[in-house]
Amino acid sequence: MPREAVDVETVAANDQCVSFARGGTAAGLRSLEWFPLRRERKARSSSFHLGGRATCLPRAGVTMSTRPPMRPPGNVPAVLLGFQPALALTGALCLQQNLGSSSPGKKQSKENTITINCVTFPHPDTMPEQQLLKPTEWSYCDYFWADKKDPQGNGTVAGFELLLQKQLKGKQMQKEMSEFIRERIKIEEEYAKNLAKLSQNSLAAQEEGSLGEAWAQVKKSLADEAEVHLKFSAKLHSEVEKPLMNFRENFKKDMKKCDHHIADLRKQLASRYAAVEKARKALTERQRDLEMKTQQLEIKLSNKTEEDIKKARRKSTQAGDDLMRCVDLYNQAQSKWFEEMVTTTLELERLEVERVEMIRQHLCQYTQLRHETDMFNQSTVEPVDQLLRKVDPAKDRELWVREHKTGNIRPVDMEI
């Protein structure tokens, strides 16, 4: 059967440009191609109103390519994300009718992207290296997009889950630091109690003179030192232990909400991806049916074949539209997940910096209190030092002799 000339008509509908070939015979159907070109993200409509006999004839092997959104996500500044609208492409389909052979367009699309655990990434072998959102900062928002193999099992752990574990571990470390300071406080209180008790001991209480005064000051200094340590323990409790313990009391609850939010978005993304695969399978079946009816028309097996072809063509077109709609919904879900991941990981990064800075400040307060305690302890022994410098054995002897002397007339020899 001679092949009739094929004319090409371009139709734009809802910002979507569709090039399709229209032939007057069944043989001409083999040359049909459908190329959904670049589409803006907001052009969500998937219904095309085409005139004449021409219809969209999608290819069985549908591939999809996901690109970053053309607009910066949510509340994240475009400058931070480094978006370049001229380079940012939206999700696209390259559908070709080339049955029975491998399509270069399909191969290229497959090489450009790779889908792992329902998330679509640029293929490392063909896509240019992406610029980091926050170069040189080792930011959370740049390094936790993929899943990681679970070392304790055969499954995987999401990158966001690792960040949550880091946050919860930080909260646990903060709690343990608070417990450590509490033990330090107990030691101080026990030490102060023992010092106060020792200061009341009557040992060597009968020492006299300047040395007796120095010894009495030694015991008094113990009582003063005990008071210093009691004050130190009280300040440790109010200025170090309590703030460490009470910092972010509802942190675990907040992290659980955050985890559920991102997990729900990831589940929605998986659901959208499953819908894409289902739509792709349906399109393959519709195209196979259309191909079969086209072959029947060529060999004149049935008088109803032409009508059947029209019906099969409509179903194939609808399946292609359904697939595009599913891909659009998938891209929307992935874009939403992407935006929330960037926003949330930056927030977790801020919280971690805040936690570390808070702990650093309170440990600095601990060392400051420790220095002050040493100064006060030094002040308690200064009177002891002063009295020790005044200890004079000769003066002590004079005082003692004056008080306890029995007579200063010395004995003499006996006379006959």
What residue ranges do the domains of the chain occupy? 155-392
- As a whole number of angstroms, the distance between CA 364 and CA 152 comes to 38
Q: Where does 44-96 show beta strands of DSSP type E?
A: 64-65, 92-93, 95-96
Amino acid identity, residue 367?
Answer: T
Q: Quick one: tokens of 148?
A: 């990681």
Find the helix or strand (DSSP H, E) in which 353 lies.
Answer: helix 305-390
Q: How far is CA 10 from CA 54, 57, 134, 350, in A?
A: 11, 14, 42, 51
Domain at 155-392, CATH class: mainly alpha
Residue 86: count other Cβ atoms within 10 Å of its Cβ.
6
**Alpha carbon distance 37, 50 (integer Å):** 16
Q: List the chain pLDDT tens, one digit each, 416 residues.
A: 333 333 333 333 333 332 322 233 333 322 333 333 333 333 333 333 323 333 333 333 333 333 333 333 444 443 344 333 222 223 323 333 332 333 333 333 446 889 999 999 988 887 777 889 999 999 999 999 999 988 887 789 999 999 999 999 999 999 999 999 999 999 999 999 999 999 999 999 999 899 999 999 999 999 999 999 999 999 999 999 999 998 988 888 889 899 999 999 999 999 999 999 999 999 999 999 888 888 877 776 556 667 778 888 899 999 999 999 999 999 999 999 999 999 999 999 999 999 999 999 999 999 999 999 999 999 999 999 999 999 999 999 999 999 889 998 988 999 98
The pTM assigned to this predicted structure is 0.66
Determine the pLDDT at residue 300: 67
| Cβ-contact 64, 120 below 8 angstroms | yes
Q: What are phi and psi of 387, to 5 degrees?
A: -70, -35
- Burial classification of residue 353, based on how many CB atoms lie within 10 Å of its CB (0-12 exposed, 13-18 middle, 19 or more buried): exposed
